[in-house]
Amino acid sequence: MASPAWAQDATSTPSPKELWNAYPLAPEDAPATATPSEAATEGAATPTPRQAGAAPPVKDDGGTGWVIPVIVAALLAFGLGLSIGRRRRRERLEAAEAAGDSPAVEPPAPKRFQWRDYPEPARPAPPPPPPPNGAPTFKAALREQRAAASKRAKQEEPH
């Protein structure tokens, strides 16, 4: 019997002819390799995969079979929690009304932007200080500009 690992032997390398025979270009042209003889298989019953040395087939169900029941259970628990909370709140309001207490009014939902409401001032604001160097105020300068514009408009009117 030949050495089972002749290609792993460090002293010799396979010849090109041996490599050509071991790895043909067309696999259908390759000689038959280790197949059981017909005489050995005739008398023996068909072996089961476990007897033949093959691993049993693995059933691949995707592994997500537990996700759906967990999601359904979570949704049911959430709905049950909401209904219990509403029932307790309703019972508290009914108990408060029966006792004569006015139930606390919930504040309105907060607005998107909280506007500030300041109280009215106790007295009016003081007038602005006079402009430095006797420069005219904005309002006075605006009045002068309008007056000058109206004088020009009167001059340009055709008579």
Sign of the Cα torsion 104, 105, 111, 114 reads: negative
DSSP-H helix ranges across 3-116 = 16-22, 38-43, 67-99
Is the pLDDT reported for residue 117 higher than 80? yes
| Three-state DSSP state, 151 | helix
Is the pLDDT reported for residue 3 higher than 80? no
pLDDT computed for residue 76 by the predictor = 96
Q: Of the candidates 12, 11, 10, 32, which has an alpha carbon nearest to the alpha carbon of residue 21? A: 32
- Write out pLDDT tens, residues 28-57: 766 666 555 555 555 555 555 555 555 666
- Tokens linked to 4: 């089972």
The torsion angles phi and psi of 10, rounded to 5 degrees, stand at -75, -20
Is the pLDDT reported for residue 83 higher than 70? yes
* Helix or strand (DSSP H, E) at 157: none
Residue 50 near residue 56, CB atoms below 8 Å:
yes
- Tokens linked to 48: 């089961």
Q: Which amino acid belongs to residue 104?
A: A
Other C-beta atoms closer than 10 Å to the C-beta of 107 total 6
- Between vectors from CA 48 to CA 43 and to CA 54, what angle results, nearest 5°? 120
